[in-house]
């Protein structure tokens, strides 16, 4: 499978993906290990950085030849840990394999609410959901009536940021890479407007059209040319939450940004975010989001690939926008 992808996407040829299938693992006697059966795996853009020369400074890079790790939803099948027992459902870091031995329970959350789809714990109820929540409310510090722009707006994080902005009473526009995604933003997620950035040759002019009075908040998911154009359209005291820059993850060198002086002219605050800083707020976030999901007031779209054999394709698809919504793999 992977050789086929390398031939079609040669720029991704430095990715190394290994999956273990049909391997039943055991708890080491006397250890606090947990053996889990993996149910859903999450495809996340940061995983690309762990496979390339552009190292993430947050996560250790993957070791070629070993199973890659990522967020997932799993069921405990054997436990040496006093706080976890057989049958518990959990989300956190697992391997891309049918069963994983977890040596550490750091960042492993027990799942208590099962009246919602379990796969949601890879997305809206897991890492991307907390990212959208913390990034929008804590980093952007939105106020009612402000003008909000979200890039990669139909994705796992973006679709939530747009809906949170509407709940706050903001005016929100999203960008996405196909006309279908643009429609989804406007009809399903309630964005005030949306555009296909691939059909806009002059992003500065496009943003001026959608935000004649400028942008108060930019939720940054893509970087590159979009960021440069946004900088020219920020309002005085605007805020940019830098969540990620997916357009840069496949590049050997990051693209240059030209309009940085706007930060001075418009007194813009730019702040990066790392979701795990907000893990202590996870239960507060659940209390916030669960009622919205149950009442249908926040919508969530997932793109589910079936089987480990389709996991590499699903992951690589993030980088050309083949996913519509949160990309999940059901094991
Ligand atoms: P998505 O579900 O949004 O999937 C990625 C999407 O990015 C694709 O569907 C595609 O949509 C878009 N995309 C891909 N390549 C490009 C490109 N070259 N230019 C513009 N858009 C592109 O992913 P997530 O919601 O999981 O992640 C969104 C961002 O948030 C990423 O940058 C990620 O790294 C970041 N992130 C950061 C976290 C943190 O703690 N800081 C935590 C979680 C995510 P389209 O069709 O619209 O092009």
Determine the Cα–Cα distance for residues 293 and 306; give it in Å rounded to an integer: 24
pLDDT, greater one: 21 or 1: 21
Sorted by where each starts, the structural domains of the chain and their CATH numbers stand as 2-123+300-330 (3.90.180.10), 127-276 (3.40.50.720)
Residue 8 pLDDT more than 60? no
pLDDT at 16 over 50: no
Q: What is the pLDDT of residues 118-128, one digit of tens each?
A: 999 999 999 99
CA of 290 to the centre of ligand 1 (A): 24
Q: Is the pLDDT confidence value at 256 over 80?
A: yes
Q: What is the reported pLDDT for 2?
A: 46
pLDDT digits (tens, 9 = 90+) for 181-231: 999 999 999 999 999 999 999 999 999 999 999 999 999 999 999 999 999
CA 210 – CA 264 distance, rounded (Å): 23
Lowest-confidence pick of 11-25, 92-106, 201-215, 255-269:
11-25
What average pLDDT does the chain have?
A: 92
Q: In testing the pocket of ligand 1, which one of 155, 199, 219, 227 has its CB within 8 Å of the most ligand atoms? A: 155
DSSP string, 200-262: -S-HHHHHHHH-TT-EEEEEESS-HHHHHHHHTTEEEEEEEEE---GGGTT-SSPPP---TTH
Please tell me if the CB atom of residue 48 comes closer than 6 angstroms to any atom of ligand 1: no
State the average pLDDT over residues 293-320: 95
Q: Where are the alpha helices (DSSP H) in the chain?
A: 2-8, 46-49, 127-133, 158-167, 179-187, 203-210, 224-231, 262-265, 282-294, 311-317
Pocket test for ligand 1, best of 221, 278, 313 (most atoms within 8 A of CB): 221
pLDDT for the residue numbered 324: 98
- Give the contacts of 74 (CB within 8 A, at least 6 positions apart): 36, 37, 38, 39, 89, 90, 91, 94, 100
* pLDDT classification of 57: cutoffs 50, 70, 90: confident
Say how far residue 288 (Cα) sits from the centre of its chain. 19
The stretch 273-287 carries a mean pLDDT of: 97
Residue nearest to atom 18 of ligand 1 (CA): 247
Identify the pLDDT of residue 30.
Answer: 84
122 in ligand 1 pocket by Cβ < 6 Å? no
Is residue 161 lining ligand 1, measured as CB closer than 6 Å? no
Atom of ligand 1 nearest to the CA of 156: 25
Per-residue pLDDT, averaged over 174-179, amounts to: 98
Ligand 1 contact, 124 CB (< 6 A): no
Say what percent of the chain tops pLDDT 90.
Answer: 82
Spacing, Cα 249 to ligand 1 middle (Å): 10
Query: Average pLDDT, stretch 22-36?
Result: 77
- Provide the pLDDT for residue 5: 46
Query: Which pLDDT score is estimated for 169?
Result: 98
d(CA 266, CA 282): 34
Query: In this structure, what token pair is assigned to residue 296?
Result: 């249908």
Distance (Å) from CA 318 to ligand 1 centroid: 7
Question: Residue 25's pLDDT is what?
Answer: 65
- Give the pLDDT mean for 237-260: 94
3 has pLDDT over 70: no
Least confident window among 22-26, 111-115, 155-159? 22-26
Distance 189 CA to ligand 1 centre (A): 17
Mean pLDDT of 6-21: 50
Decide if pLDDT at 71 tops 70. Answer: yes
Residue 1, pLDDT score: 40
Q: If you average pLDDT over residues 57-76, what whole number do you get?
A: 88
- Predicted confidence at residue 10, as pLDDT, reads 53
Interaxial angle between packed helices 203-210 and 224-231, expressed in degrees from 0 to 180 and rounded to the nearest 10: 50
pTM of this structure: 0.93
């Amino acid at each position: 499978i992977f050789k086929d992808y390398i031939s079609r996407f040669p720029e991704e040829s430095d990715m190394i993906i290994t999956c273990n299938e049909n391997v039943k693992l055991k708890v080491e006697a006397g250890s606090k290990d947990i053996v889990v059966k993996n149910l859903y795996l999450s495809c996340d853009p940061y995983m690309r950085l762990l496979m390339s020369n552009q190292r993430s400074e947050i996560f250790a890079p993957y070791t070629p030849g070993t199973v890659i790790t990522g967020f997932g939803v799993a069921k405990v099948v054997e436990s040496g840990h006093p706080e976890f027992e057989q049958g518990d459902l959990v989300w956190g870091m697992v391997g891309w394999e049918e069963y994983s031995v977890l040596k550490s329970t750091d960042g492993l959350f027990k799942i208590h609410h099962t009246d919602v789809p379990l796969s949601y714990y890879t997305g809206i109820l897991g890492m991307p959901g907390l990212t959208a929540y913390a990034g929008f409310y804590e980093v952007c510090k939105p106020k009612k009536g402000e003008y909000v722009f979200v890039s990669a707006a139909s994705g796992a994080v973006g679709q939530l940021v747009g809906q949170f902005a509407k709940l706050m009473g903001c005016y929100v526009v999203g960008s996405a890479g196909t006309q279908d995604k643009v429609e989804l933003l406007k009809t399903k997620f309630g964005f005030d407007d949306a555009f296909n950035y691939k059909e806009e040759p002059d992003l500065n002019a496009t943003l001026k059209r959608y935000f004649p009075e400028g942008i108060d908040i930019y939720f940054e998911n893509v970087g590159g040319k979009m960021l440069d154009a946004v900088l020219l359209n920020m309002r005085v005291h605007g805020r940019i939450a830098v969540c990620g820059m997916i357009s840069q993850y496949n590049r050997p060198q990051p693209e240059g940004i030209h309009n940085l002086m706007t930060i001075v002219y418009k007194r813009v605050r730019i702040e990066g975010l790392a979701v795990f800083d907000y893990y202590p707020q996870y239960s507060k976030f659940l209390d916030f989001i669960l009622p919205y999901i149950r009442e249908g007031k926040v919508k969530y779209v997932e793109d589910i690939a079936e089987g480990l054999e389709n996991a590499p394709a699903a992951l690589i698809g993030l980088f050309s926008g083949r996913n519509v919504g949160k990309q999940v793999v059901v094991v």
